Amino acid sequence: MPYKNPEDRRANYQRRIREDPDYPEQRRKWQAAYRARGGKRREYERLKADPTRFAADREQKKGYRDRLRDKVLKAYGHRCVCCGEKERDFLALDHIDRSGSEQREDMSQIGFHHWLLKEKRSNIRILCHNCNMATRFGSPCPHQT
Protein backbone atom coordinates (compact mmCIF):
# COMPACT_ATOMS: atom_id res chain seq x y z
CA MET A 1 0.00 0.00 0.00
CA PRO A 2 1.87 3.09 -1.16
CA TYR A 3 1.95 6.12 1.06
CA LYS A 4 2.94 9.59 -0.01
CA ASN A 5 3.58 10.59 3.55
CA PRO A 6 6.04 8.38 5.53
CA GLU A 7 4.31 9.31 8.77
CA ASP A 8 1.09 7.72 7.48
CA ARG A 9 3.00 4.53 6.75
CA ARG A 10 4.48 4.46 10.26
CA ALA A 11 1.05 5.16 11.78
CA ASN A 12 -0.49 2.32 9.80
CA TYR A 13 2.33 -0.04 10.84
CA GLN A 14 1.83 0.90 14.51
CA ARG A 15 -1.93 0.37 14.17
CA ARG A 16 -1.36 -3.09 12.65
CA ILE A 17 0.99 -4.01 15.54
CA ARG A 18 -1.63 -2.90 18.09
CA GLU A 19 -4.34 -4.96 16.36
CA ASP A 20 -2.16 -8.03 15.78
CA PRO A 21 1.00 -8.45 17.88
CA ASP A 22 2.24 -11.20 15.53
CA TYR A 23 2.16 -8.87 12.52
CA PRO A 24 5.90 -7.96 12.50
CA GLU A 25 6.86 -11.65 12.40
CA GLN A 26 4.32 -12.36 9.65
CA ARG A 27 5.62 -9.42 7.67
CA ARG A 28 9.20 -10.66 7.95
CA LYS A 29 8.08 -14.08 6.63
CA TRP A 30 6.23 -12.48 3.70
CA GLN A 31 9.24 -10.35 2.82
CA ALA A 32 11.59 -13.34 3.00
CA ALA A 33 9.28 -15.37 0.76
CA TYR A 34 9.09 -12.48 -1.71
CA ARG A 35 12.88 -12.21 -1.83
CA ALA A 36 13.20 -16.00 -2.19
CA ARG A 37 11.09 -16.07 -5.32
CA GLY A 38 13.20 -13.34 -6.85
CA GLY A 39 10.80 -10.44 -6.56
CA LYS A 40 8.04 -11.46 -8.99
CA ARG A 41 6.85 -7.87 -9.15
CA ARG A 42 9.98 -6.96 -11.10
CA GLU A 43 9.33 -9.87 -13.46
CA TYR A 44 5.79 -8.61 -14.05
CA GLU A 45 7.05 -5.11 -14.85
CA ARG A 46 9.55 -6.56 -17.34
CA LEU A 47 6.85 -8.61 -19.06
CA LYS A 48 4.45 -5.69 -19.10
CA ALA A 49 7.02 -3.58 -20.95
CA ASP A 50 7.36 -6.23 -23.68
CA PRO A 51 5.05 -5.23 -26.59
CA THR A 52 4.67 -8.82 -27.83
CA ARG A 53 3.52 -10.05 -24.40
CA PHE A 54 -0.17 -9.43 -24.90
CA ALA A 55 -0.35 -9.91 -28.69
CA ALA A 56 -1.77 -13.43 -28.48
CA ASP A 57 -4.30 -12.36 -25.87
CA ARG A 58 -5.42 -9.44 -28.07
CA GLU A 59 -5.85 -11.76 -31.06
CA GLN A 60 -7.88 -14.20 -29.01
CA LYS A 61 -10.17 -11.45 -27.70
CA LYS A 62 -10.58 -9.97 -31.19
CA GLY A 63 -11.64 -13.37 -32.50
CA TYR A 64 -14.19 -13.68 -29.70
CA ARG A 65 -15.59 -10.19 -30.37
CA ASP A 66 -15.84 -10.95 -34.10
CA ARG A 67 -17.68 -14.22 -33.50
CA LEU A 68 -20.05 -12.50 -31.06
CA ARG A 69 -20.74 -9.69 -33.56
CA ASP A 70 -21.44 -12.27 -36.28
CA LYS A 71 -23.99 -13.97 -34.02
CA VAL A 72 -25.75 -10.65 -33.38
CA LEU A 73 -25.77 -9.72 -37.08
CA LYS A 74 -27.18 -13.15 -37.95
CA ALA A 75 -29.88 -12.81 -35.29
CA TYR A 76 -30.97 -9.45 -36.67
CA GLY A 77 -31.00 -10.42 -40.36
CA HIS A 78 -27.35 -9.89 -41.45
CA ARG A 79 -28.23 -7.23 -44.04
CA CYS A 80 -28.99 -3.52 -44.18
CA VAL A 81 -32.76 -3.07 -43.86
CA CYS A 82 -32.59 -0.04 -46.15
CA CYS A 83 -30.32 -0.92 -49.09
CA GLY A 84 -29.73 -4.65 -48.58
CA GLU A 85 -25.92 -4.46 -48.10
CA LYS A 86 -24.56 -7.81 -46.83
CA GLU A 87 -20.82 -7.13 -46.37
CA ARG A 88 -20.08 -7.68 -42.66
CA ASP A 89 -17.53 -4.86 -42.38
CA PHE A 90 -20.05 -2.31 -43.68
CA LEU A 91 -22.87 -3.16 -41.27
CA ALA A 92 -23.72 -1.37 -38.05
CA LEU A 93 -26.33 -1.71 -35.31
CA ASP A 94 -28.69 1.27 -35.27
CA HIS A 95 -30.96 2.35 -32.42
CA ILE A 96 -34.23 3.36 -34.07
CA ASP A 97 -35.25 5.54 -31.11
CA ARG A 98 -31.81 7.26 -30.89
CA SER A 99 -31.08 5.77 -27.43
CA GLY A 100 -27.57 4.56 -28.30
CA SER A 101 -25.67 7.10 -26.22
CA GLU A 102 -27.54 6.15 -23.03
CA GLN A 103 -26.99 2.49 -23.83
CA ARG A 104 -23.22 2.96 -24.23
CA GLU A 105 -23.02 4.62 -20.81
CA ASP A 106 -24.72 1.64 -19.17
CA MET A 107 -22.72 -1.27 -20.61
CA SER A 108 -19.61 -2.31 -22.48
CA GLN A 109 -19.64 -3.29 -26.14
CA ILE A 110 -19.39 -7.01 -25.38
CA GLY A 111 -22.08 -6.71 -22.72
CA PHE A 112 -24.29 -4.95 -25.26
CA HIS A 113 -23.88 -7.75 -27.79
CA HIS A 114 -24.68 -10.40 -25.15
CA TRP A 115 -27.75 -8.42 -24.14
CA LEU A 116 -28.91 -8.24 -27.77
CA LEU A 117 -28.54 -12.00 -28.15
CA LYS A 118 -30.38 -12.70 -24.90
CA GLU A 119 -33.43 -10.59 -25.69
CA LYS A 120 -34.40 -9.58 -29.22
CA ARG A 121 -34.94 -5.82 -29.24
CA SER A 122 -37.44 -4.13 -31.52
CA ASN A 123 -35.64 -0.77 -31.33
CA ILE A 124 -32.44 -2.16 -32.93
CA ARG A 125 -31.95 -2.64 -36.65
CA ILE A 126 -29.02 -3.31 -38.95
CA LEU A 127 -27.98 -0.55 -41.34
CA CYS A 128 -24.89 -0.15 -43.46
CA HIS A 129 -22.67 2.71 -42.34
CA ASN A 130 -23.82 4.91 -45.24
CA CYS A 131 -27.50 4.53 -44.36
CA ASN A 132 -26.71 4.88 -40.66
CA MET A 133 -24.93 8.21 -41.20
CA ALA A 134 -27.69 9.45 -43.51
CA THR A 135 -30.38 8.80 -40.88
CA ARG A 136 -28.27 9.99 -37.96
CA PHE A 137 -29.55 13.55 -37.95
CA GLY A 138 -33.20 12.75 -38.61
CA SER A 139 -33.18 12.92 -42.40
CA PRO A 140 -34.45 9.91 -44.34
CA CYS A 141 -32.02 7.52 -45.99
CA PRO A 142 -31.35 8.33 -49.68
CA HIS A 143 -32.51 4.81 -50.59
CA GLN A 144 -35.96 5.50 -49.18
CA THR A 145 -36.61 8.79 -51.00
Q: How many CA atoms lie within 13 A of 126 on its CB side?
A: 24
> How many angstroms separate the CA atoms of 125 and 128, rounded?
10
pLDDT tens digit sequence for 48-72: 777 676 777 778 888 888 998 999 9
Per-residue DSSP letter, 76: T
In the chain, the percentage of residues whose pLDDT exceeds 90 is 10
The domains of the chain are located at 6-49, 66-135
**Percentage helix, strand, coil for the chain under 3-state DSSP, each rounded to 5:** 60, 5, 35
Instruction: Judge if pTM exceeds 0.85.
Output: no
- Extended strands (E) in 51-130: 91-95, 124-128
- Judge whether 100 and 107 are in contact, CB under 8 Å: no
Average pLDDT, stretch 97-125? Answer: 77
